[in-house]
Chains A and B, each alone.
Chain A
Amino acid sequence: MKINPIWLVEDSINDIELTITALEESNLANRLIVIRDGGEALERLKTLGYPDGEPFPAVILLDIKMPKVDGIGVLRAIKSDPRLKNLPVVVLTSSREGPDVNTCYELGANAYVVKPMEFGDFFDALKILGKFWAILNEWPEPKMSKG
C-alpha cells in the first residue's frame, strides 16, 4: 500500500522542530514534507499528482501566519482548484483572535486547530491530528493526471 506523505507548511523553525518531534513520537509511517513558506507551497501544488510530480499528501498542516503568501492564500488556492480541492487541509494557528476561523471555513478548511500553549497539550494535539488524518481519515484522493 502506498503511503501518502504529510505536508507541513510552516515558516517558524521552532514550530517545525517541535512538530517533527511530536509526529515522530506517534510513529507514523508517512513521510513528513516540510515547506517553509506559502509561495513554495503554491509552486509544489502545481506539480502535485502528475506522473513525474509529487504524490498527493494525506493531509496538509497549514500555518496561517507566514510571510509573503499566508496560509489563507494557500488554502484559497487549494480549495478553488477543482483538481486539488479534496485535499484535506488542517489549519494550525497560534491565535484565537481575528476573523481566521470563519474565513478558513468559508474557504473550505477541513479543520481549524489553535496550537495549545502548553507543550504537553501541543504534543498531544499533534499526535492526535497525525493519527486521525494520516491513518483514520478516508478521503477521495484526486486521480493522477495524465500529463
Chain B
Amino acid sequence: MGYFPRTPITKNLPRYALTLGIVLLAFLLRFALVQGLGLDMPTYITFYPAVITVAVLGGLGPGLVATALCLLGTALLILPAVYSLSIASISDTVAQVLFAVMGVLISLLAEHYRRGRKDIADLLQEKAAANIQLAASLKALESFSYSVSHDLRAPLRHLDGFLTLLIKRSSAVLDDTAMHYIDRSLDASKRMGMLIDDLLRFSRVGRGEFHRTPVDLNKLVEQVRRELEPEIRDRSIHWRVDRLPVVSADQPMLRQVMENLLTNALKFTRHCPTAEIEIGHKTDAAGDPVIFVRDNGAGFDMKYYSKLFEVFQRLHSEQEFEGTGVGLAIVRRVVERHGGRVWAEGAVGDGATFYFSLPPNSSCAEKGSHEDKPNLAGRG
C-alpha cells in the first residue's frame, strides 16, 4: 500500500518527539493512578489512548513506535520479571500480543484516514488551480478575439480604402480587365471581413452569458419572421407554423438559432417556385421538446452529414449559395450549451429538416471540453 513515508527523518522529528512525549505522559498518568492513588487498573488502560492520539496526529510510523515504546516500557517497568510460565505471565503475554495487534491496527487505520484527508486536500487544491487556469485561458481567449477583431479588420479596411481610391482616381485609364481585378480584390476583402465577423459571433456564443428564462417560441418565431420579411417580399413562400411550446432557454441565443435556421431555409429554397417552410415540434424519447425547421429547398447529401455543423464547412459553393459556414455551427453550439442536441435529415434537391432538442432543466451542460477545438458550422 506504500504506507511508509519516504520523507527525510529531519522532517519527521517533531512527529517522533510528540510520540515520545505522549507515551511518557501515558506512563506518568499510569504511575500517578496506580502508585499515587493506589487504584487497580488494567495494564494498558492509559496506553490505548496514547497510541490512538499518536497515530491520529502522526500517522503509521509514530503509531507503531508508540506501540513498541508502550510494550517495552510495560515489560521493563510494570510487569514483574518472570522466568517461569505462570498463569499470570501467560495472561500478561496474551495482553501484550493483543496490545501490539491493536496498536498496529490503530496505526494503519489512522494512516488510512490521514491519507484520505490529504487526498481530499490535494484534490481541492488541484481544482482551485484548474479554476484559476480556466479563468486565465478564458481571459486569453477574450483578448484573442479582441485583437482578432482589431488587427485583422484594420488591414481589410485599408485594402478596401486604397482600392476604392484607386478606382476613383484611375477608372478612366484602367481597362475592363484591370477594373475586374480590382473588383475581385474588393470582393475578397469584403468576404474576409464577413468571415472575421462570423468567427467573432461564433466565439461569443460559446463564452457569452447564459440565462434561462421561459421563452414563448411562437412569439420568437414571429419576431424573427418579421425581421426577415424585407428580404423575401417578392418571393412566394408557403409557411406552416405549428403551435409551438414555451421552452426554458436563453432568449437571445435561442433567437439566434431560429434566425440562422430560418435564414438557411429561405436561402436554400431561393430557386423553388414556391418555398415550403414548416416550423414544428414534437417530443423525443426522453420527453424533451424537439423543434424542427423543414424546407423543400436544395437539401444536402447525407454523405457529407458529418461536415454539416462544423465551422467554416459548407456543402454548397459560394456561387450557388452565399455564406461563411458559421450559421449551423452557432446553432449547434447554442443548443449544446442548453444541454440539447442538433441533427438533420436531407436529400439533394429534396429539402432539409433541422431538429434540435431543448431539455428544460439540464444544467446548461457547459461542454467545456469542446471549447478549445472549434468544430462548428455548416450550410450558412
Interface residues of A (CB under 8 A from B): 12, 14-15, 18, 21, 65, 93-98, 115-120, 122-123
In the bound complex, do residue A18 and residue B153 qualify as a contact, i.e. CB atoms below 8 Å apart?
Answer: no
* 6 contacts across the A-B interface (CB closer than 8 A): A12-B158, A14-B161, A65-B151, A93-B150, A94-B150, A96-B149
In the bound complex, do residue B162 and residue A14 qualify as a contact, i.e. CB atoms below 8 Å apart?
Answer: yes
Q: Tell me whether B157 is interfacial, beta carbon within 8 Å.
A: yes
Cβ < 8 Å to A, chain B residues 255-276:
none
Query: In this complex, what residue of B is CB-closest to A19?
Result: B161
- For A120, list chain B residues within 8 Å (CB): 164
Query: In this complex, what residue of A is CB-closest to B150?
Result: A95
- For A18, list chain B residues within 8 Å (CB): 157-158, 161-162, 165
Minimum Cβ distance to chain B for residue A120 (Å): 7
Minimum Cβ distance to chain A for residue B195 (Å): 12
Secondary structure of the A side of the interface?
loop
Number of interface residues of B (CB under 8 A): 23
Cβ < 8 Å to A, chain B residues 129-165:
142-143, 145-146, 148-151, 153-158, 160-165
A95–B145 Cα distance when bound, in Å, is 10
Q: Tell me whether B360 is interfacial, beta carbon within 8 Å.
A: no
Q: Tell me whether B200 is interfacial, beta carbon within 8 Å.
A: yes
A94–B193 Cα distance when bound, in Å, is 12
In the bound complex, do residue A117 and residue B158 qualify as a contact, i.e. CB atoms below 8 Å apart?
Answer: no
Interface residues of B (CB under 8 A from A): 142-143, 145-146, 148-151, 153-158, 160-165, 190, 193, 200
In the bound complex, do residue A94 and residue B165 qualify as a contact, i.e. CB atoms below 8 Å apart?
Answer: no
- For A118, list chain B residues within 8 Å (CB): 160, 190
- For B145, list chain A residues within 8 Å (CB): 97
Known: A117-B193, A119-B164. A15 touches B158 (CB 8 A): yes
A110–B153 Cα distance when bound, in Å, is 24
